[in-house]
Amino acid sequence: MTKRETQTRPSGIRRFLNTPKGIVLSVLAGLTLLAALRPQDHLVLVNVLVAVVTGLLVDGAVALLQRRKRLFSDGAVITGLIVASVLGHATPLWIVAATTVIALISKHIMVIGRKPLFNPAAVGLLVAIWVFHAGESWWASLALMPAWMTLIVLIAGLTVAVRVNKFPQVTAFLGTYFGLLLVMAISHTGLPSDTPADALRVPFVNSALYLAFFMLTDPPTSPAAYRQQVLFGILAAVVATAIFATVGGLSYLLLGLLSANLWKVVWVRGSQRRPAARERQRATPGAADSW
């Protein structure tokens, strides 16, 4: 290697930050720090620290068990960031830690091949809601910041969507989601406490954007081919909106995502029986490690 080559070669960190995971990690960290600027929310960084450290410990332990050389898991950091960002500020630290553990264990247990079946953070958060009765605030989506700051989420999210090659999926999800909310409003359907007017506005729209840009785009749990990406996005939005219209709450987005994850598994299983589709799958692999 010549001296010039050595000089122009990007450092390890810079190289990592240019990868899809590096971009997502830096964007999520940026949004988290920005959201924590709110005077009431400084302490929520403790939740983030607990979630990230727990995640690193869990994935590090799994790596040890599997005798992997690399113990540090960037995917665990991202999962920890998402978990802490979605759970409410007042969530006890043990619930934050437990949610992260569940999320990461699901990543290692519920797998097809080497890829996780479901978005790990979504699994953990759903268990936290149903079992621990934890609240959600999606605070890192800048939901509690001035409304104009949603633009920052949009710009950061679009950057991620383009860089991880999930733009069709994100636009399919958001287009369908907003379209169905419009239909709900026109047809006057839905619950009195969960109206389309709410869902289309801050703070609710922030959670949908956060899910679309940073959770829906998880490479191993979402399809790579564009046509499947569009179907995946539409399905997630349809399920989410249906639950929003009939049950309400805040877990409708997570359930929409997990339903689409499940559909992807079924589609992959089906496609494995078809030689042509199997070839396509091989040609467009997603990353094995989830975020």
CA atoms of 147 and 4, how far apart (whole Å)? 48
Amino acid at 149: M
Nearer to another protein, 107 or 219 (CB): 219
At its nearest, how many Å lie between another protein and the CB of residue 90?
Answer: 3
Beta strands in the chain (DSSP E): 111-112, 115-116
At its nearest, how many Å lie between another protein and the CB of residue 179?
Answer: 5
CA atoms of 158 and 241, how far apart (whole Å)? 22
Which residues are at the interface with another protein (CB under 8 A)?
A: 38-41, 43, 88-91, 133-137, 143-147, 158, 162, 165, 167-168, 171, 174-175, 178-179, 181-182, 185-186, 192-198, 200-204, 224-226, 248-250, 284
At its nearest, how many Å lie between another protein and the CB of residue 117?
Answer: 23
Nearer to another protein, 97 or 104 (CB): 97
At its nearest, how many Å lie between another protein and the CB of residue 6?
Answer: 30
* DSSP helix/strand/coil, 194: strand
CA atoms of 235 and 149, how far apart (whole Å)? 28
* DSSP helix/strand/coil, 111: strand
At its nearest, how many Å lie between another protein and the CB of residue 123?
Answer: 19
Nearer to another protein, 56 or 257 (CB): 257
Amino acid at 47: N
Tokens of 271: 């496609």
Nearer to another protein, 100 or 176 (CB): 176
| Environment class of 227 (CB within 10 Å of its CB; exposed 0-12, middle 13-18, buried 19+) | exposed
Q: How many CA atoms lie within 13 A of 101 on its CB side?
A: 10
Nearer to another protein, 60 or 249 (CB): 249
Nearer to another protein, 76 or 210 (CB): 210
At its nearest, how many Å lie between another protein and the CB of residue 53?
Answer: 21
At its nearest, how many Å lie between another protein and the CB of residue 186?
Answer: 7
Q: What is the 3-state secondary structure (H, E, C) of 25-74?
A: HHHHHHHHHHHCCCHHHCCHHHHHHHHHHHHHHHHHHHHHHCCCCCCCCH
At its nearest, how many Å lie between another protein and the CB of residue 81?
Answer: 17
Nearer to another protein, 2 or 193 (CB): 193
Nearer to another protein, 102 or 184 (CB): 184
Tokens of 136: 């959600």
